[in-house]
Structure 1
């Protein structure tokens, strides 16, 4: 199989790099300054074992890739970019006849729970992936992953349910042989809802930072508790977050990567790179949506969704939340 990594940032870049090092065919799809750096200098990939430069084939979009019947599309863009990416790739022709949407699987290696649903509107075969991977992309051409002895835990399964059959098993085997823990799960969406609860604090990390601050710890606990209550009201099943934490700790530990300082969540990284967008609408916003649909309140998630969006649109620096803004959050 050849892996087309659509979105070669922190998650996509790490998956692509590890698969490439594992001897698999990979194409990284990127844009802007990151694409230019990858073409000019290759991918600088850092792990606790060291930093190396990988010459992985790279493309700027579907028009630059001649698709084959053995291709796997790995979607690793932020959710706010999912619809556009799917629309661009779905109609592309595949050698031997048919389109990508008809013949190729798409793996949603993304936070949130909306991507698979969007993909299933266009693609016949959709696989869900719950990604737990400490990775960073702050500089064009460079990606790092601090997990060891594996870079991440990538739970894979079918969507809307099931194990995903032989295709998912084959993809999981390639990942497991390339530096990941990659269990196949029949109910992987339950894990993705669990991860969603853990991601609700990403917006707070992005706008306020200060992970050791007692006030921020209190707010993180509150925003997660709010999410748990909303999922219960909506009848959405999920796994125990403590179970997820235990399984991750059993698989990997975090170690420093040379030349890489502390980086925050994926949302913090979006603000630090000045991308102009942030995934809060599909993380905190998912809880807000379910709360409105089921007649319950989610005021803290709603406030964090609004604040994170305002930070992204106006270019505010990560962690620059003011004292009065923080006090307003605590008062909710």
Structure 2
């Protein structure tokens, strides 16, 4: 993977950062980066664009209240930044990338901040599936065509944020990112990106094996999110209730076996993950919150892509598949009812 020439204001310590997706995560990143003195451009439209242009962005976090002014507009108005964050739900990513494509210049690093198995999983990893598409998340290979692989940085976000209104977000937990080159090689661009973000108050780790923390988060989401939609249960009950925790543990086992087949090194053992989940209290998963708001769910990236990867290794995930089917049916039925169909 060839690194782009670092020729812009990065060398002077001031970066030009683009944010595509002005939701909770995008707003949080934009505010933290802008208040550190970097130039930030936010891709937005409609009412959100009007609010950002008129009143800027607002973030409430552990350090207090923050208000920043940023550039905002369509992709053609924002130029080509040094670093572009793609902040979207997996099912919305393709449309976002198409809108943001003019922002990807010859030196732009692209960081997708998306849950689940990414479309680039088999790129740069050198295994027997090298270059294969993950059909659950990129069935036509459109994402692969739109985002240059040599510009891509893998990311796992541990940022709990809530969008309160257009241009307004809050987050009361520590902000953490893990970044890594998708071919697992160390690079200057990775180290410098991580250092810049950490200086902005977003603790960022540069990983030499980015798929390991990726699997850790995917497994945590897989064992809780679809089950929360089916049951309506909180994390406390999913991992602490004797009946539900049995289901969660079995889904964990299926996912861990799949991750192991791909050589992943998982940081948490099942007992620790269950205890951690139960200790989070009566918290609704993000997927359950989306279901209750009548929004589409991230089942393709969090569940169906993992099942696809398992099948490539000759493994089955029967319980995970059934829970995902139930969650998909429940979500689709609710969306049809809301549409009057």
Question: What is the TM-score when the length of structure 1 is the normalising length?
Answer: 0.75
Partner of 1:180: 202
**Separation (CA, whole Å) in 2 of partners of 1:31 and 1:107:** 21
- Per the TM alignment, residue 126 of structure 1 is displaced from its structure 2 partner at its CA by 0.7
Within the candidate set 63, 75, 88, 1:77 is matched to 88
Counterpart position of 1:154:
177
Pairwise CA RMSD: 2.9
1:23-49 CA distance string (max 9 Å, x none): 211122245654454344433312133
| 8 Å Cα contact 2:22/2:167 also seen in 1 | no
User: What CA distance in whole angstroms lies between the structure 1 residues aligned with 2:334 and 2:163?
Assistant: 18
| Deviation, structure 1 residue 65 | 2.1
Give unpaired runs (5+ residues) of structure 1.
Answer: 95-99, 255-261, 317-332
Partners of 2:31 and 2:67 within 8 A in 1: no
1:1-332 aligned within 5 A: 1-31=15-45, 34-59=48-73, 61-67=74-80, 70-90=81-101, 92=102, 100=104, 102-117=106-121, 121=145, 122-123=147-148, 124-137=150-163, 139-147=165-173, 151-163=174-186, 165-200=187-222, 201-207=224-230, 208-213=232-237, 214=241, 215-232=243-260, 234-241=261-268, 264-275=284-295, 277-315=296-334
Inter-CA distance 24–75: structure 2 relative to 1 (3 Å threshold): same
Give the Cα–Cα distance (whole angstroms) in 2 for the partners of residues 43 and 304 of structure 1.
39
- What is the rounded CA distance, in whole Å, between the counterparts of 1:196 and 1:167 in structure 2? 26
CA drift at 1:167: 1.7
- 1:45·1:143 contact (CA, 8 Å) conserved in 2? yes
How big is the shift at 1:120? 5.1
Distance 1:9 1:264 in 2: 19
Structure-2 separation of matches of 1:58 and 1:217: 45
Q: Aligned partners of 1:48, 1:87: CA distance in 2, in Å?
A: 34
Deviation at 1:272, TM superposition (A): 4.2
Q: Secondary structure at the match of 2:96?
A: helix
Q: Give the Cα separation in 2 of the matches to 1:314 and 1:106.
A: 36
Shift in Å, 1:192 = 0.7
- Aligned CA distance change for structure 1 residues 58 and 314 (closer, same or farther; 3 Å): farther
On the 8 A contact 1:108/1:115 being kept in 2, the answer is: no
> Normalized against structure 2, the TM-score is what?
0.73
- Mapped to 1, the partners of 2:180 and 2:25 lie a distance apart of 18
Report how far residue 180 of structure 1 moved. 1.8
Structure 1 residues 122-131 or 43-52, which shifts more? 43-52
**Is contact 2:234-2:285 (8 Å) kept?**
no
Q: Deviations over 1:132-165 (max 9, x none)?
A: 1222225433221111xxx3221111113213x2
- Separation (CA, whole Å) in 2 of partners of 1:292 and 1:120: 22
Structure 2 distance, partners of 1:31, 1:291, is 39
CA contact (8 A) 2:235 2:284 kept: no
